[in-house]
Amino acid sequence: ISVVGIEKVVPTWRDLEVFLQTLPRSSTAERMNPYTSMWTGTADGDGPRAFHLVLLDNGRTAALADEVGRQALRCIRCSACLNVCPVYERAGGHAYGSVYPGPIGAVLTPQLRGTASALDASLPYASSLCGACYDVCPVAIDIPGILVHLRQRVAEEGGKGHRLEKAAVRAASWLLDRPAALAAGERLASASRAVLPKKLPGPGVGRWTEHRDLPELPAEPFRDWWRKNRA
């Protein structure tokens, strides 16, 4: 029994030849990979006596209808984008709950599962939009373009993750627009650095520090150091 996504169907064996060469070279720079399985149906005496092929849609038709997002279905799962992404290089491929790891997961999973959940709505934002994934993609998927497209969708749907982000941006804008308040906050943080927790509280941001320590704050703000040493 083989369960195959409908985007994996190719017309002929000759078309498969192209993918068998492109995939390993883009993934690990090898000439061929050891994890491609081929089934040619039933055979008398040797081989399977019954063969069942299940073509899985599971949101792929909806993704195909999106003129921007459909290019994600061209993915051959080579992991080249994951290998060069500065975000997933640090966080790990499965760090954000996507079945498909890395940048391609950030654009494919929200299309297959939708953006109703806070997790799926946040995936398009797990990127710096540096474009390294697009440069290295062997099938030329414009992942940064799809990420921006999906961010627009999340914003139009008013997802929870987007509302929280807007609130954080408004708070940051207020603080950064008031140098005196920012300086006071920096001095307060430096003065209390010895008693600040190493872990963040709450079920949301707290999960981020379950496996990571917060960086230690400097003994004094940069602006104070600059005033004493370079002014």
Ordered by where they begin, the domains of the chain are: 2-162 (1.10.1060), 178-229 (no CATH)
Yes or no: say if 135 and 103 are a contact pair by the CB < 8 Å rule.
no
Question: Using 50, 70 and 90 to split pLDDT, how confident is the model at 6?
Answer: very high
Q: How far apart are CA 211 and CA 191, in angstroms?
A: 26
| 8-34 pLDDT, tens digit each | 888 888 888 888 889 989 988 888 888
**Taking 90 as the threshold, does the pLDDT of residue 38 lie above it?**
no
> Is the model's pTM score more than 0.85?
no
Contacts of 41 (CB under 8 A, 6+ apart): 48, 51
Mean pLDDT of the chain: 86
Res 93: pLDDT: 61
- pLDDT value, residue 102: 87
Q: Has residue 162 got a pLDDT over 70? A: no
Contacts of 144 (CB under 8 A, 6+ apart): 127, 129, 130, 131, 133, 134
The answer, yes or no, to whether residue 204 has pLDDT greater than 70, is no
Going by pLDDT thresholds of 50, 70 and 90, the confidence category of residue 108 is very high
Q: Does the pLDDT value for residue 197 go beyond 60?
A: yes
Q: 113-125: string of b/e by CB count within 10 Å (b at 16+)?
A: bebeeeebbbbbb
Task: Tell me the CA distances in angstroms from 13 to 9, 38, 40, 51, 74, one per residue in order.
Answer: 11, 11, 11, 19, 17
Dist CA 106 CA 125 (whole Å) = 8
pLDDT, tens digit, for every residue of 45-67? Answer: 887 888 899 999 999 999 999 99
